[in-house]
A and B are shown apart, each in its own frame.
Chain A
Amino acid sequence: MDFDFTEKEQAFRAEVKQFIADNLPPPEQRGEDFEKHWHAKLIEKKWIGFSWPKEYGGGGGTLIEQFILKEEMSKALAPDLGSDFMGLTWVGPALIRHGTEEQKKEFLPDLLNCRSSWCTGYSEPDVGSDLGSLKLRAVRDGDDYVINGSKIWTTRAHVARYIFLTVRTNPEAQSRYSGISVLLTPMNTPGIEVRPIVNIVGQHHFNQVFFTDVRVPVSARLGAEGEGWKVVMGALANERSGISESTGMERHLEKLKELARNSQKGGKPALQDAEVRRKLARFETQISAMRLNGLRNLTKQIKGAQPSSETSVNKLLRGILEIPMADLAMSLLGNEASGMGEWQFDALNFHGTVIGGGSPNIQRNIIAERVLGLPKD
């Protein structure tokens, strides 16, 4: 057990900090094309996909260095590393693990250079938590699959170039999990239609996507036919660990403390209120635990393990923390809580992040069934 960073890692942290000091303007001074310039610089440093293998254009950094990079960027309120969170967090790793050489060459460099963007097609109108029951049908026709059906809640489908698409290739397969395949599908393929869905905060992020006789070559399949479930399980573990990195939660907490410092409760500073103090201390403790859980998982990965059910722990923690954090903020805001602001926005928006990637109940099921060995319900 050793939480110290090596000299090389410390030097890397110093390099990241220096880079940020030299290149990252404070949030209020970031103009229209800030992200474009910022990404160009990150690409040059090979800091996007920093821990990916060099042979595919990655930076060849260690997982720890990548962790340091993300931590410093988050502290400095930098945007996500790269413009394509989904592509970089789970599509890329799935390609590296299951892709053919051609697929890796086709997709990975664009991902690293911010020239592509991905969306993810899992959910369907009748298929949510029970992803194994997905129906979107892909029928083999010569060297093509022909796809018919619909996906829903597809985040960024209206801007993405590709969709990481789960389809049913064999409805008669012995187990429902063995009839699923993944197709890497360009969104401009004829027969794909995207309809916007407006979310609880009035924004357009997700969509329903319709597929009518959409033809995709067999070479677009990731992994063997009927082995898509394995690909998806790995991708979901990466998604869960990606969306529950503690850095984001640490930012929320700092913001919440700041709000508490500037708030009154019953005519007195809110920070003199024992209940407020203990709630904040509890959040701080749980978020510390999340950070350390993440480092423990990282250690396992460094020793060769693939991310798996343990990622549900932090996903669940994030799910059960965010809404109460926003709730405390709302209570500190008093009557202003019914106005419009950052926390009011979060208090609504967190209802989406808690469900995306699998609801808390589903994370509890995963832990109970896959880790504790209890029967499926």
Chain B
Amino acid sequence: MDFGFSEEQDLLRAQVRKFLEDQCPLEQVRQIAAGDEGYCPRLWGQLAELGWLGLTLPEEFGGLGLSWVDLVVILEETGRSLFPSPLLSTLLAATVIDQHGTAEQRQRWLPALIDGSSIATVALLDEQDYLVPQAIQLQGAAGDGGYRLSGEKRFVQDATAADLFLVAFRTGPGDDDLGLALVPRQAQGVSVADTEGWDRTKRSGVLTLDAVQVDADQLLGAAMLGAPAIASIIDYGALAVSAEAIGVCEGILNLTSQYALDREQFGSPIGRYQGVKHPLAEIYVDIECMKSLVYYAAWALEAQPDDAPAAIAKAKAYAAERTCNAGVAGVQLHGAIGYTDEYDMQLFMKRSKWSRATYGDEDFHYDRVAGYGGI
């Protein structure tokens, strides 16, 4: 029993933090957020060189073969710096390909995703706020040894940056008849539109499929993956967002604590007043709890898979609710400056709201916790 990070993990954290502080301070984040691409190809290339895109992927494809606990270290830091990039989407897609893909599919895609030459994302959702495999509507029409896909996928993270989509669709009439298709951006009938949102450090879009032909070799793994495989994607996503949310809360706490020390009213720093300092103490408590829940869930993912879904549900439920609370408190404790475009708090506040909904909010995940806990 050792609930701490190894020396290597501490080093990795220091390295990621330094890289992001040097290469992508908040001014840079704003620039990237204002651009069309939504990420910086130059930095993306550097992430690949540093090995972070393949951190958890097998060495035979150029990855580092490390664990999700190591990945959490990186994600905490990308969250803390609000680093805009398709990292999360690509990691998720690569993880799914690695787990479910055939030997050929893994060979074809993983090296490109790890060396940064390709960007991928998963396209799961049809309907808003209905994050279960059963809600997937897109119906594949069987034909020519594969399927033909027509329809729309919404809330596709990093849709405009991606050149590969993992599209969830129905392979038949049964509840469990679900598959994932590997659909390249250039395929006939594929179009992508950016969805305007407040948090431009996180991009999302709509993927439209107009009679897109998916051949048998584009069906991930066996033609029919089933609901559990889809549910596990949602779990990976929820865990990754929760890990980033830890960093987001730390960013909020650092910025706001510093402001509370610097800003004086009624003759003393506002951080002296309990109406200010107590909400900050509560954010600290929440960060501690989020760390505990996320680290355990990341460990369980590989070491205790039976316990992972419940552990992830707890982590995401807590992160969704409390990150949002931290964003609200952070802005409020700044007074009017917090409401400006110029001051950075707004960036964190917007991200806190993104973190709530993405891969399930607290209601969704607390309902799962209830189910797992025999409630």
Contact = CB atoms under 8 A, between A and B. Distances in A.
B and A form one assembly: yes
A377 interface: yes
A361 B274 contact: yes
Contacts of B69: 1
A260 interface: yes
Interface stretch (A290-298, A335-343, A349-357): A290-298
Contacts of B277: 364-365, 368-369, 372, 374, 377
B370 A2 contact: no
Contact of B3 (A3, A280, A363, A367): A3
B159 to A, nearest CB: 32
B295 A284 contact: no
Contacts of B289: 286, 289-290, 293, 313, 317
A277 B282 CA distance: 24
A142 interface: no
A364 B273 CA distance: 12
A75 interface: no
B123 interface: no
Contacts of B3: 1, 3, 292, 295-296, 298-299
A102 interface: no
Nearest to B256: A372
A300 interface: yes
A374 B261 contact: yes
Interface in A120-138: none
Interface string A261-291: 0000000000100100110111011101110
Nearest to A64: B1
Given A1-B2, A313-B285, A372-B284, A296 B292 contact: yes
B367 A278 contact: yes
Nearest to A286: B289
Given A271-B375, A364-B281, A278 B370 contact: yes
A316 B282 CA distance: 9
B156 to A, nearest CB: 29
A31 interface: no
Contacts of B296: 3, 292
Nearest to B288: A313
A4 interface: yes
Interface string B344-375: 00000000000000000001001101100111
Interface residues of A, number: 50
Contacts of A313: 284-285, 288-289
Contacts of A299: 1-4
Interface in A278-335: 278, 280-282, 284-286, 288-290, 292-293, 295-296, 298-300, 302-303, 310, 313, 316-317
A260 B375 contact: yes
B2 A377 contact: no
Contacts, number: 161
Nearest to A280: B375
B293 A288 contact: yes
A198 interface: no
Interface stretch (B95-103, B146-154, B264-272): B264-272
B303 A367 contact: no
A4 B370 contact: no
A27 interface: no
Contacts of A300: 4
Contact of A3 (B1, B280, B281, B367): B1
A106 B44 CA distance: 66
A285 B311 CA distance: 9
Nearest to A293: B292
Interface of A: 1-6, 9, 64, 257, 260, 271, 274, 277-278, 280-282, 284-286, 288-290, 292-293, 295-296, 298-300, 302-303, 310, 313, 316-317, 361, 363-365, 367-369, 371-377
Given A260-B375, A361-B278, 8 more contacts: A1-B69, A281-B375, A286-B318, A289-B289, A293-B289, A296-B4, A364-B278, A368-B271
Interface of B: 1-6, 9, 69, 253, 257, 260-261, 268-269, 271-274, 276-278, 280-282, 284-285, 288-293, 295-296, 298-300, 303-304, 311, 314, 317-318, 363, 366-367, 369-370, 373-375
15 contacts: A1-B295, A9-B1, A277-B370, A278-B370, A284-B369, A286-B318, A289-B289, A293-B292, A365-B277, A368-B271, A372-B253, A372-B281, A374-B257, A374-B271, A377-B274
